[in-house]
């Protein structure tokens, strides 16, 4: 039976971003010739919830979006990023669409900084101690993580049953291939902030 994700409430300042996300999910699903029921079955999410995402009445957590992106053979970054309408785009410190990372009550969110037409995707993550960041994920491309506050770890699966953990502190940067199965987790007792930049393969 499909799990029902709890939608985040729609706020006025979310309207444009939710519309763009819903359109991106629906367009990609139609492009692949998949029904809502098929996507629901493969993601473990409910048909009503997926319908709310496509019609811009619910914002999925990043955990749910990773599941949707995997079934739609794309990446969360491609679904999240809205269009760019100018040659120069400035995103203020309080701007950029915010998405919760999981459906858990702990505070961890992503703030989107770039639009769809850019050759890369950039976002800021803010993660409180105890927050869950999801399991292993892989896609084609490369990504960079630069930690600006706190501590953070990236686990890489070497393909032979071994997990290599890279611990990052404020000021540290890591670049790796996203084709390698990887997962993130918070370290330490303070809030962690990092900038994530990814480029498709």
Question: By 3-state DSSP, what share of the chain in percent is helix, strand and coil, each rounded to 5?
Answer: 25, 30, 45
CB 29 within 8 A of CB 71: no
Q: What is the pLDDT of residue 3?
A: 42
Q: What is the pLDDT of residue 182?
A: 93
Q: Which residue has the tokens 């319908």?
A: 51
Domains of the chain listed by start with CATH number: 12-80 (1.10.260.40), 98-200 (2.60.120.10)
For β-strands 163-169 and 121-127, DSSP reports them as unpaired
Q: Which pLDDT does position 1 carry in this prediction?
A: 37
Give the three-class secondary structure for 29.
helix
Residue 16 near residue 82 (C-beta atoms within 8 A): yes
In tens digits, what is the pLDDT along the chain, a chain of 201 residues? 344 444 444 443 357 777 888 888 999 999 999 999 999 999 999 999 999 999 988 888 878 888 898 899 888 777 876 655 667 878 888 777 777 877 766 678 888 888 767 788 899 999 999 887 878 888 888 999 999 999 999 999 988 889 999 999 999 999 999 999 999 999 999 999 999 999 876
- Which of 18, 25, 20 has the alpha carbon at shortest distance from 57? 18
What pLDDT is recorded for position 89?
79
Q: Which residues contact 69 (CB under 8 A, 6 or more apart)?
A: 75, 76, 78, 79
Angle, CA of 57, 130 and 180, to the nearest 5°: 80
pTM for this predicted structure: 0.73
CA angle (136, 132, 37) in 5-degree steps: 65
Cα separation, 36 vs 49, whole angstroms: 10
How big is the CA angle at 81 (ends 2 and 22), to the nearest 5 degrees? 40
Sheet containing strand 163-169, edge to edge, reads 163-169, 151-157, 182-187
Q: What is the pLDDT of residue 82?
A: 61
């Amino acid at each position: 039976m499909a799990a029902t994700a709890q939608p985040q409430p729609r706020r006025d300042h979310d309207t444009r971003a939710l519309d763009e996300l819903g359109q991106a999910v629906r367009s990609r699903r139609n492009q692949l010739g998949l029904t809502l029921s098929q996507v629901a079955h493969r993601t473990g999410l409910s048909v009503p919830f997926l319908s709310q995402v496509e019609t811009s009445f619910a914002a999925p957590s990043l955990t749910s979006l990773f599941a949707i992106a995997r079934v739609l053979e794309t990446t969360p970054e491609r679904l999240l990023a809205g269009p760019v309408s100018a040659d120069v785009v400035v995103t203020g410190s309080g701007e950029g669409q915010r998405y919760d990372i999981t459906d858990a009550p702990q505070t961890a969110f992503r703030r989107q900084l770039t639009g769809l037409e850019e050759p890369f995707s950039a976002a800021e993550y803010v993660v409180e101690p105890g927050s869950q960041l999801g399991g292993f994920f892989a896609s084609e491309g490369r990504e960079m993580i630069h930690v600006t506050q706190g501590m953070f770890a990236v686990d890489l699966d070497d393909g032979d049953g071994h997990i290599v953990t890279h611990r990052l502190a404020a000021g540290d940067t890591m670049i790796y291939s996203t084709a390698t199965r990887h997962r993130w987790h918070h370290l330490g007792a303070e809030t962690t902030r990092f900038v994530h930049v990814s480029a498709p393969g």
